[in-house]
Amino acid sequence: MKKTIVSGIQPTGSINIGTYLGSIRNFVKTQVDYQDHHFFLFIADLHAITVPQEKQTLRKHIKELAAIYLACGLKKDNLSLFIQSEVKAHAEMNYLIQCFTYMGELERMTQYKDKAQKQTAGVTSSLFTYPALMAGDILLYDAEYVPVGDDQKQHLELTRDIATRMNNKLGNVFTVPKPLIPKVGARIMSLTDPTSKMSKSDPNIKSRIHLLDEENIVRKRIMSAITDSEGVIKYDRQNKPGLSNLIDMMSALTDQSPEAIAQSYQSANYKTFKEDLAEQVVNTLKPIQERYHSLINSDELDQILDDGKAFAEKIASRKIDKLHHKLGLGRKRK
């Protein structure tokens, strides 16, 4: 078996430019940089239901995300694209991993603390054990690399700790994975509150730009993004978080450093800079949207998901069998 890369995104809403720049774009780059690896990429629908979801909306977002991955430029070669819940081993693995995960470790997870605070209808135990499900996703396929945004670093560290612990106890059962976090764009902030991450599930729709948003919406959102009243273009995340976030977006889109961008707009006003940024975003989204529309209702997309499921199932079920054997579950093989 080739070395592997694993990642996933939750279908909790329409994909925004933050997830694109911090994650999907990095998947595309990773696929090019590591052509000798096999990439297991999935739609993390089991993760999505750790908080309440409406059935029809979830279905729509699952299929949408599958088409978005491909529309953003991922190639079918060396890729298994699948829906997490369709490969039953993920749910099974979650339980096995939980048997090696400590309460104290889960209690320290900052994403859990943030999300639990936002849940008015009650916090589920699955929201608490979510990092064990995620560790299982990764370890099932012996991932060498896991491309993610900056906010997932802590979950990756926990995955590494669990893998090492299980390797020590059971003999070498897992590859210990390494995160791949992009240098720019790893944390794009909300357009309406630059102190919080741009997120799919933010109730304020003006806080983000969706990859499928129409041109006039994109321009409107950028023009009304929060900046400051100083009127000077400078990259200073501490004192000018709104403007610096827009510079980060421009930087990620154009592969120039944030400092170089600030320098070239030194004598411009915010309006000019925002208009240029909007143009850049619109041009980036146009080809993605075209490919998306040709894929979303195609048989090709279903075929890719079927093939991805079949191959992922084969690899994952082998790992589950191996773990059962190592743990002494069931009967001894003859």
Q: How far is the CB of 308 from ligand ATP (least distance, A)?
A: 18
Stretch that binds ligand ATP, among 8-16, 32-40, 94-102, 218-226 (CB under 6 A): 8-16
Least distance from ligand ATP to the Cβ atom of residue 81, Å: 15
Residue pair 148/156 in contact (Cβ under 8 Å)? The answer is yes
Counting Cβ atoms within 10 Å, is residue 191 exposed (0-12), middle (13-18) or buried (19+)? buried
Rounded CA-CA distance 80/155 in Å is 23
**Between vectors from CA 111 to CA 196 and to CA 135, what angle results, nearest 5°?**
135
Could you give the string, one character per residue 124-153, with x where binding to ligand LTN holds by CB under 6 A and - elsewhere?
A: ----------x--xx-------x-x---x-
Could you say which of ligand LTN, ligand ATP, none residue 134 binds, taking C-beta under 5 to 8 angstroms by partner kind? ligand LTN
Query: Minimum Å distance from CB 307 to ligand ATP?
Result: 23
Nearer to ligand LTN, 44 or 51 (CB): 44
**Secondary structure letter of residue 188 according to DSSP:** P
CB of 152 to ligand ATP, least distance (A): 5
Nearest to 176 by CA among 143, 211, 222, 134: 143
Which residues on adjacent β-strands are paired with residue 210? 16
Using CB under 6 A, which residues numbered 19 to 58 contact ligand ATP?
Answer: 19, 22-23
The closest of 150, 112, 151 to 131, measured between CA atoms, is: 112
Q: Does 151 bind ligand ATP (CB under 6 A)?
A: yes
Active site residues: 115, 197, 200
> 79, 41 in Cβ contact below 8 A?
yes
Per-residue x/- mask for ligand ATP, residues 191 to 230, rule CB under 6 A? ------xxxxx-----------------------------
Q: Which residues pair with 16 in a beta bridge?
A: 210
Q: Which residues make up the interface to ligand LTN (CB under 6 A)?
A: 6-10, 44, 47, 134, 137-138, 146, 148, 152, 155
